[in-house]
Structure 1
Amino acid sequence: MAPFRAIFLIAAASTVTSITVVKAQSTDLSPIAGFWALDKADCGTPTNGYDERLKIEANGKNGSAESSCSASSIKSAGSRLTFRNRCLSEGERFASTVTLDMASPDRITWKDGKQPAVTYVRCSGSKNEGPRGTATASFEAGSFNLSSHGYSATIISLTGPDTPNATMTGRVTRADAEEECQRNSSNGDGLKPKALERCVSATISKERSKEYVAKANCSSRTIIPHFGGTFTVVAVSDIGTARILDRLKQDIGSATASGAPTIQEQFEKLCPVAFKRLRKL
């Protein structure tokens, strides 16, 4: 089993339209103590002795049954969090920079170093509200990937979700640039301040006047991602991977080179209800 190399720093507010922004100690995870899983079906206590759930403790420790991790240097920018996670798994010690995007109070997407993004759900009964007096902010739409390994674009407009005319527009912000520079640094260990500033400045200079637009007809489950082409999402597997067809009705597969992970993420943002229905089929 591959070790979990991330923790998830969100605190659910009392409604699904808002999140609690936690400004706590860099190792205080009490607002999100509980269990997370790849799918709701994996949330129950395992009967085969093989526990794949992620457990988060109030004292900052986190991990799976086979790994033990600790978070530090937590930074937030809108609905995105970045932090360092130091882990021990099967006698091996490692550290990585984790980036987390909050799609909703109970659904998150995270990237561990240079690894592809993975989506997790909060297990029922493990939800923790923010401490009394914690400020509640309106939920932000977040960002969407422009490629599996490159930077993301922060959503500046999302209109008509789950309609035949869903449209999403994004721009590459400084936070997007900084996350990509850190994640794609040597060994994913991050850059020193001057090197980070050079990397961020180069990205912002390149992307300053650009906007990225993705559109979908959620009724027919078709999408035009930001890079063009027309694709149809026809099914979603039990583990949450979409089956996507191109204009010739050919399955594009799930490899990152096909663009499938990027197409899926953009479709989930544009058509969240349609995606959820496909997963239940």
Structure 2
Amino acid sequence: MHKLFDLTGKTALITGSARGLGFSYAEGLASAGASIVLSDIRAETLQEAINKLKAKGYNATGYVIDVSKEEQIVNAFEEMDKAGIQIDIVINNAGIQHRQPMVELALKDWQRVVDIHLTGTFLVSREAAKRMIARKSGGKFINICSLTSEQARPTVAPYTAAKGGIKMLTKSMSAEWGEHNIQANGIGPGYILTDMNEALIKDVAFDTWVKNSNPAKRWGKTEELIGTAIFLSSPASDYINGQIIYVDGGWLAVL
């Protein structure tokens, strides 16, 4: 591996990483040499994910964290401090979806989506950044954005608002932390074959629309996001800050 993309000696925290895209990011960064800290709300699934990484010879540990709960985040970072774990890379991936027309949307459902995506990204990043700044080590943040950071679709208003917010939070992070050699960038996945999109994949009309509206004429694969994640975690991106890279097969380019 070229040294520009070598993550040996670095430790990466990936939220929402017990399965799906989060686990793919974790496995990808581990393959580039990083030690991995997984986090998820499901203890049993989290342990299974840790075991999978260890079985491949990777250095991995994990913490049960609901990223919408400030106390859990603060406690997890304090536990990492005690264990001597210093986070160099953060991928803010944790998220949920809630599909419902806005006129029928309850405040609690709106708040839950926004809290997990947007507020969770802020809280995790705040705790990691204050430690990076204190030890003068620099660091990398990768915030998982979305096509809905740029464009809206019906029935996913809280998700769209949160992902739009994450785009601008990423820019704010770069504005405040860039002088500390901390880079904050985002990845905006297109329509990817994941568990979260299972209902859409099985919807014949939606599946056809995705394929017809995308220059690549297909859904993306989880492994097609790993290269961008490694790049944004590595020295190769040291002068890139506040940017969003859309891995979408060209979807946004043709709207």
TM-score by length of 1: 0.31
Q: Which has the higher contact order (CA 8 A, sep 6+)?
A: 2
Structure having the larger proportion of residues in helix: 2
Higher strand share: 1
TM-score where L is the length of structure 2: 0.33
